[in-house]
């Protein structure tokens, strides 16, 4: 298992900033899987990423259409497999054909198609925090699959730290990110700074 990187965003705008921070390290052929409950911020994250890649149009959830294609620095294939009822339905749609090596592919509810994802991809898990007073807070965990994704995520962290601090009325004095090392043989994890 690879290291993971987690951060809490405190508003939809911070979630967009996080998406935008990932854009500079993306290349055609990259695949990103987003998972999380309804309203966790998956589409908001994609909005930031797409805008930073030069998409000028409106970015919305493809829940009812399954796929939105956007033109930016690279083409973006934005899929949402939430409404698909079965794995067979996904296969019948020709899901593998959506992996255009000239495009960045972002899949909402990607955990439903994990068996079809390439060996190297970025899994991002998003969920509301448990603080009832913080409706907009989201815990976002980056789980890179493959060494190239580990490097990309760590590079993204530096950009995100600077942008989140610049956008915050109360800049942090330390890192907002937490790195968790790979699982040890005994099943425990080790946290890093």
Handedness of CA 117, 122, 123, 127 (dihedral sign): negative
Closest CA to 110 of 119, 122, 102: 122
The pLDDT profile of the chain, 193 residues, written as one tens digit per residue, is: 468 999 999 999 999 999 999 999 999 999 999 999 888 999 999 999 999 999 999 999 877 777 889 999 999 999 887 665 555 565 566 556 667 889 999 999 888 778 888 899 999 999 998 888 888 899 999 999 999 999 999 999 999 999 998 888 776 666 789 988 765 444 444 455 4
Domains identified in the chain and CATH numbers:
4-192 (3.40.50.300)
Q: How far apart are CA 118 and CA 95, in angstroms?
A: 12
Which residue in the block uniquely carries the two structure tokens 């190239």? 148
47 DSSP 8-state letter: H
For 70, other C-beta atoms within 10 Å of its C-beta total: 23
């Amino acid at each position: 298992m690879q290291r993971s990187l987690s951060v809490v965003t405190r508003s939809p705008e911070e979630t967009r900033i996080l998406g935008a921070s990932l854009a500079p390290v993306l290349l055609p052929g990259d695949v990103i899987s987003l998972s999380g409950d309804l309203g966790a911020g998956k589409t908001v994250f994609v909005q930031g990423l797409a805008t930073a890649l030069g998409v000028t149009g409106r970015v919305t959830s493809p829940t009812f259409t399954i796929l939105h294609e956007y033109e930016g620095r690279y083409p973006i294939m934005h899929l949402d497999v939430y409404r698909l009822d079965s794995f067979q339905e996904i296969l019948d749609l020709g899901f593998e054909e959506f992996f255009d090596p000239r495009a960045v592919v972002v899949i909402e509810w990607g955990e439903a198609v994990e068996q079809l994802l390439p060996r190297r991809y970025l899994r991002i898990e998003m969920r509301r925090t448990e603080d009832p007073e913080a409706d907009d807070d989201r815990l976002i965990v980056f789980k890179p699959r493959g060494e190239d994704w580990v490097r990309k995520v760590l590079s993204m962290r530096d950009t995100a730290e600077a942008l989140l601090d610049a956008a915050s009325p109360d800049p942090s004095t330390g890192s907002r990110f937490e790195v968790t090392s790979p699982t040890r043989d005994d099943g425990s994890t080790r946290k890093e700074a």
